[in-house]
């Protein structure tokens, strides 16, 4: 039996889109149809998508999406903190902790592609400390830990 994806369905999706609207107002930014569609699509995918996978998923609804416009929407959503980019897989994922604008870490299963978003205080503190020790004023922290998740290891164990 296939692993259940944590696809966000309404009303979770509704709530997230409401939150997006409030964030836009708060930042004096415009909430456009495409921006809503991009976040919505990422949320209902329930996993990380490449920009072009996302584009594929938008096309049925909105045939005139282009790479440039998808990237623009993604950039926008990233500045609001509701979407993150995974550097090591060149993909994008909806944020699971949108209330807390803290530094996050990602755990990525190289087998099933599952991505877990974490907010580990020790790692946050340790990276900050390292930055200070080496004289860096940090403004971006990429922490992406790749391996095999528990479920996949169990599956592998029973062949």
The residues binding DNA (CB under 7 A) are: 24-25, 28-35, 50-53, 62, 64-69, 71-73, 76, 90
Cβ proximity to its own copies, 100 vs 126, nearer residue: 126
The Cα 157–Cα 148 span in angstroms is 12
The Cα 9–Cα 132 span in angstroms is 42
52 binds, among DNA, its own copies, none (CB under 5 to 8 A by kind): DNA
Tell me: does residue 153 bind its own copies (CB under 8 A).
yes
Number of Cα atoms under 13 Å in the Cβ half of residue 55: 13
The Cα 46–Cα 43 span in angstroms is 5
The Cα 113–Cα 122 span in angstroms is 25
Tell me: does residue 87 bind its own copies (CB under 8 A).
yes
- Residue of 11, 134, 157, 159 interacting with its own copies (CB under 8 A): 134
Least Å from the CB of residue 26 to DNA: 11
Cβ proximity to its own copies, 11 vs 140, nearer residue: 140
The Cα 134–Cα 155 span in angstroms is 43
């Amino acid at each position: 039996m296939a692993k259940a994806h944590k696809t966000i369905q309404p009303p979770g999706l509704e709530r997230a889109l409401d939150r997006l609207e409030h964030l836009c107002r708060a930042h004096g930014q415009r909430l456009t149809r495409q921006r809503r569609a991009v976040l919505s699509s990422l949320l209902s995918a329930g996993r990380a998508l490449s920009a072009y996978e996302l584009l594929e998923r938008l096309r049925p609804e909105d045939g005139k999406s282009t790479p440039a416009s998808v990237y623009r929407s993604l950039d926008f959503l990233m500045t609001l903190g509701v979407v993150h980019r995974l550097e090591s897989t060149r993909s994008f994922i909806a944020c699971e902790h949108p209330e807390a604008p803290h530094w996050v870490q990602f755990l990525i299963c190289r087998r099933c592609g599952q991505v877990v978003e974490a907010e580990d205080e020790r790692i946050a503190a340790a990276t900050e400390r390292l930055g200070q020790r080496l004289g860096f004023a940090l403004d971006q922290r990429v922490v992406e830990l790749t391996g095999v998740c528990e479920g996949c290891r169990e599956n592998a164990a029973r062949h």
